Amino acid sequence: MRLSMERAVSLRGIAFTRCTLAPLIKSIPSRRTLASLTNNSNPPKPRRNPSERFDPKSIENGWYSYWTSRSLFEPQTPSAESKDKIRMLLPPPNVTGQLHIGHALMLSIQDALARYYRMNSHPVHWAPGTDHAGIATQSVVERMLKKKRGLSRNDLGRENFVKEVEKWRDEYGGRILGQVSRLGTSTTGSSEYYTLDKGLSEAVTNAFVRLYEEGLIYRDTRMVNWSVGLQTAISDIEVISEDVSKGTKIDGVEFGILHSFAFLLEDGSGEIVVSTTRPETIPGDRAVAVHPDDERYKHLHYKRVYHPLLPGMTLPIVPDAELVDPSFGTGAVKITPCHDINDYAFWQRHSLSYVSPSNKTQGKRVEIPLVPVFSSTGHYLPSSGISSLVGVDRLHARKSIVRLLEEAGVYRGRKDHDMRVGKCERSGCVIEPLLQPQWYLSTKPLAEKALAQSVSQGLIIRPETPYSDEWKRWLGGIQDWCLSRQIWWGHRIPAYQVLEPGKFKERWIIATSEADAKSQLTEDERRRGCVLEQDSDVLDTWFSSGLLPLSTAGWRGNEMAEGHQEWKENYPLDFIESGGDILFFWLARMAMLCTWFSGKLPFGEILLHPLVCDARGRKMSKSVGNVLDPLAVVEGRTIDRIIQEIEADSKEEIELGKSLNTNAGEKQAKDAQTLVRNKIKEARKTFPQGITESGADPLRMALVDYTRQARQINMELRHIDAFRRLGIKIDNAFKFFHNFRKPSDKAFGTAIEGNIRTPATIKSWIEGLDKERVRLHDWYMLYHLRELVGVCNTAFEERKLYKATEAIRAFTFDVLCDVYLEFVKEELGDENRRDIAMGMMFHALDVTLRLTHPFMPFITEGLWQELDPKNRAEVDGTSIMLSTFPNASNFPDIEFSQAEPMKGVLELVESLRRFSHDVSSSPDKRSKKVVSILPPQDGSLTEYLKEKKETLARLSKVEIRTVFGETRWSGVEADLVGSADGWVELPQSIDGQDGVLVIGRRTNTQ
């Protein structure tokens, strides 16, 4: 931002530059919609006494109800000045969700953009909503049922369990939107959606059926991430990785150990030693792999070894260059095809039982059985071949397996080994790779179409680096998508299996309803009395989320039907804003699905915000206890309350564990208690004094300001406090104006009258002034205000909102408050200058408030209303968001040269301060310096400095005896000043009076 000349001085020690200015809220009611957060009685407009101290509660209280009750977030009726509508989509938080700092960042950015566009005459459609969150919601309700009624979902049955989930959702599911509203987000309540709404569900079903009919959805048995705790397959994003080493215990089981054991060669000529971190999988081993070029094993290709634990069973030794690294360990790898994704891929390459879709084989194929040895609950099956292990948990059997290896004489030792363990994010259990029949979507055709449209439509991704290349790379190398989830809550897969009573299951029918599926039965199937059974699985939640730009626009997947074309008017989105961490899990899937069905990308621009970490750069985690609750920042928290909330959050899990009266339950309770202690320790370390109440405004603006850090934000409370101080500064600036305002003052012009949007009048007001009465500090402030307006508009256009936040902060502190308000204080009692000074303050505050409104909606609304009470605060329905966002065209042309001389004045103040006291004396003996000033000899500042003599003395804390005329330079030798262009100390003889410090400056040019 061009705010000042070269380096200058600030009256508070901050320099100007020419180029840049460098726990769940219990009080929030549980409601389904944002619209229901306010009643229909039209609450009165909040009025705060301008003289009150800065208090976030009094500043923010009542405004959200006022905005929603007057439908100010709804798109305004188009008028002659209306521009194209802006369509936005709020990424749906889970209905089980609690507002976290990542949500707050996302909401702050999106709401700033929505308010900016609304103030620029764009009708803004910003649809809020919630996600049914299949796995998360089902888990919450299952825990609740277990605690309150001692029941499992299987005890209730599917139909009754779904009713319980619906009941829970009706009671608690809208709470997250209540928390969202606490930050002042201006979403369009009439467009609220829920991913299980009838219309959206219809779109999901039709999309699945159409993709199946187009040959893109198929059923296959493949390796999945299986959550033993949740009893379902989960996506990669729901798997968290934990780095472990040196015998780390997880759930009482030792990890980070590499066990070695031997396979004895069938011909008795020796053995092959392999190593594994998962000895529990050994009963499922069905081959040994070696590298084809490894000289140690070339003579053993396709020979056989004995299974170490299953007498009489032999396994083939198979060469494979893709899996085996000959430099690691012994260069031999055990193969458990049913319980390892890499081993399963090996099985596909080498087994006689697998028919490759391409009919291409990789070398010789051999018989490799596919034998699962773990059940879906993680216990050994009879197929493991070891009767003593059947029914035993696989992880807790590790010691037994090692003992059996030792008894067989094939155990070769153990050593520490760093490794990564995949755990279920929801349940915390260790992920087990399992072969499961699932529905898959062939994503390559969809990805190719989305990628082609990304190029042809010129998709913009910000920041471009590194995300644009990652976008292309991911879509170019995408794998097929597993759509099935083995839970009961969600969109049930519209697949019906044809069953003949008493016989095996036959084919699948994919249909929009059971009636439609019945109509597809063949005559033979009807004659044989075949019935239909719908697949019990539900769709991955990302599938319904991936259709949201279409489904929320009104698309239902049957657009050929009458009355189903309106969606085209609401599609695509203008942009989508989200976290970089879900670029592929959500945004790329939206691009694939929506582009496939519509022919257009669902958005023309992707805005990605950084990951929010704690001050030490650690990812925020509930288990660590370093999560920063945004509502705690808004409301403030004592350290005692923070600890109470930590204990309350874990109380249910502890009580549930104790109520089970089992070893597992006792362990659950004990682990939860340990976690609570660790969280409390972390909280005391992170928030020793608690969290200061800041309100929503400072939090929002601080988060947006943090986005200068493109990949990761290291969140510190002191950064939020810096913007809390900005709020106080703006509030104090308004109080200064208010305290000098008189009832008899005429209007200074207003940017809005009633509900009618009109251009800001600062240009016409200034142009109507007698320029002889406009002073240097007026031009200085106006020049920088005009520059600020340009910076803010550019920041929004370029999506670099942090440039606006830093510029607003710098202008408010360094120009408006530290310079302008200080220089007009003496003028407010001068009737010849008072009207201009008050008018300048009015317009400076009006413009600054409107520029700041997208970031700090609450304080700016309240102060803007009171800035012109007659036309704003006393008129119902008015709002700052209906005013015009300031534009440079609202200002007269102000030349740099009109403001430039003020730099010399500010440097003079700094010099006077520097020379003002005898710093060698103790503070109680210091006395004011008596100073005389010799202005630049070009005469540019002489009259101004004489006029502002009293102001300069007050700011500098000196006594100014006189300001000489510039002609006094005629008696000063040139070499006394030399080439210095700053303020320097001159010979006392220039003044002629003892004890007077003389400072001067020969020129005021740069």
* 511 touches 517 (CB < 8 A): yes
Task: Name the helix (H) or strand (E) containing 998.
Answer: strand 996-1000
User: Which runs of E-coded beta strand occur in 192-247?
Assistant: 193-194, 217-227, 232-234, 239-244
Does a structural domain hold residue 295? yes
Does a structural domain hold residue 87? no
Task: Name the helix (H) or strand (E) containing 984.
Answer: strand 984-986
User: Which letter does DSSP use for residue 430 in this model?
Assistant: B
State the amino acid at position 706 in one-letter form. Y
The pLDDT of residue 705 is: 97
Paired with 351 in beta bridges are 366
Structure tokens at 732: 């104090």
Last residue within a domain, chosen from 431, 448, 477: 431
Paired with 130 in beta bridges are 194
The pLDDT of residue 743 is: 79
> What's the rounded Cα separation, in Å, for the pair 160 and 829?
77
Instruction: Give start and end residues of each alpha helix (H) in 741-818.
Output: 762-767, 776-798, 801-810
The pLDDT of residue 864 is: 96
Paired with 219 in beta bridges are 439
> What's the rounded Cα separation, in Å, for the pair 855 and 801?
9
Q: How many domains does the chain have?
A: 2
Question: What 3-state class would DSSP assign to 790?
Answer: helix
Instruction: Give start and end residues of each alpha helix (H) in 260-355.
Output: 341-350
Question: What 3-state class would DSSP assign to 437?
Answer: strand
Paired with 265 in beta bridges are 305
> What's the rounded Cα separation, in Å, for the pair 501 and 504?
8
Paired with 258 in beta bridges are 415
The pLDDT of residue 248 is: 85
pLDDT in tens, 757-784: 444 468 888 888 888 889 999 999 999 9
Task: Name the helix (H) or strand (E) containing 262.
Answer: strand 257-264
> From the centroid of its chain, how far is CA 386?
50
Last residue within a domain, chosen from 431, 451, 481: 431
pLDDT in tens, 164-175: 999 999 888 888
Cβ partners under 8 Å of residue 92, min gap 6: 129, 130, 131, 193, 195, 545, 548
User: Which letter does DSSP use for residue 874 in this model?
Assistant: T
Query: Taking Cα atoms as reference points, which of 557, 561, 551 lies closest to residue 205?
Result: 557
Cβ partners under 8 Å of residue 979, min gap 6: none
The pLDDT of residue 357 is: 64
pLDDT in tens, 832-882: 899 999 999 999 999 999 999 999 999 999 999 999 998 899 999 999 999
User: Which runs of E-coded beta strand occur in 122-216?
Assistant: 124-127, 129-130, 193-194
Does a structural domain hold residue 61? no
User: What angle in degrees, to the nearest 10, is found between the helix axes of 857-867 and 834-852?
Assistant: 150
* 119 touches 131 (CB < 8 A): no
> What's the rounded Cα separation, in Å, for the pair 872 and 853?
16
Does a structural domain hold residue 859? no
The string of DSSP letters for 16-73 reads --SS------TTS---S-SGGGS-SS-PPPP---TTS---HHHHHTTHHHHHHHTTTT
> What's the rounded Cα separation, in Å, for the pair 719 and 742?
37
* 308 touches 272 (CB < 8 A): no
The pLDDT of residue 32 is: 41
* 122 touches 83 (CB < 8 A): yes
Its domain, for residue 908, covers 902-1000
Tell me the pTM.
Answer: 0.88
What is the b/e burial string over 160-187, where b = at least 16 CB atoms within 10 angstroms of the residue's CB? ebbebbeebbeebbbbbbbbbbbbbbbb
The pLDDT of residue 1005 is: 64
Last residue within a domain, chosen from 384, 400, 431: 431
The pLDDT of residue 19 is: 33
Does a structural domain hold residue 922? yes
> What's the rounded Cα separation, in Å, for the pair 78 and 621?
46
Paired with 261 in beta bridges are 274, 411
> What's the rounded Cα separation, in Å, for the pair 452 and 411?
55
Does a structural domain hold residue 641? no
Does a structural domain hold residue 67? no
> What's the rounded Cα separation, in Å, for the pair 82 and 118?
10
Phi-psi bin for 542: left (phi > 0), alpha (psi -120 to 50), beta?
alpha
Report CA torsion sign: 67, 71, 75, 81.
negative
Does a structural domain hold residue 315? yes
> What's the rounded Cα separation, in Å, for the pair 448 and 474?
11
> What's the rounded Cα separation, in Å, for the pair 257 and 263?
19
Q: Give the chain's residues under pLDDT 70.
A: 1-41, 78-81, 357-362, 559-564, 623, 660-661, 664, 746-761, 917-928, 971, 973-981, 1005-1006
State the amino acid at position 19 in one-letter form. C
User: Which runs of E-coded beta strand occur in 815-958?
Assistant: 930-934
> What's the rounded Cα separation, in Å, for the pair 276 and 405?
13
What is the domain-level CATH number for residue 304? 3.90.740.10
User: What angle in degrees, to the nearest 10, is found between the helix axes of 158-172 and 134-149?
Assistant: 100
What is the b/e burial string over 477-510, where b = at least 16 CB atoms within 10 angstroms of the residue's CB? ebeebbbbbbbbbbbbbbbbbbbeeeeeeeebbb
Query: Taking Cα atoms as reference points, which of 813, 818, 880, 827 lies closest to residue 851?
Result: 880
